[in-house]
Structure 1
């Protein structure tokens, strides 16, 4: 991946990889962690638009579904920190 991710974007990828995230089914999806709204929806939108995070499955417009890293997101996350990626896979 040729796009540079800032600290907040990397932290958000880590949080999504932990399995505690939900995302709304919409063109500009909102992100939630443990039921609480993510404080930086701009970061959530950017990660979704870059194809790094996505809904785990289709849903109705506006419905919250589990958020996952895409294949591209997993590759970016692993490249950022292989140790963190292995720990997240163990969860």
Structure 2
């Protein structure tokens, strides 16, 4: 899910419990999508009206979650 958001393929609905859409299709695991939003890993790219879909974006924490750790020396 985070990689799809990073690739620009995801949208969030503007609501208390934002639903995630990937490639225009509702994500099959909305429970996890809600956790990602509430835990601050993804967020709407900008504010919209209730129910509107807006592009999803990664927060710095979301980006850190998918960024590989540097190799140990």
With normalisation by structure 1, the TM-score equals: 0.72
The match for 2:23 among 10, 24, 34 is 34
Provide the C-alpha distance between the structure 2 equivalents of 1:31 and 1:65, rounded to a whole number of angstroms.
Answer: 10
Moved runs in structure 1, 4+ residues, more than 3 A? Answer: none
Partner of 2:54: 65
- What runs of 5+ residues in structure 1 fail to find an aligned partner? 1-11, 83-91
Looking at secondary structure, tell me which structure has more strand per residue.
2
Task: Give the superposed CA RMSD.
Answer: 1.0
**Equivalence for 2:37:** 48
Residues of 1 paired with 2:24 and 2:65: CA distance? 25
Distance 1:75 1:27 in 2: 25
Give the TM-score, by structure 2 length. Answer: 0.88
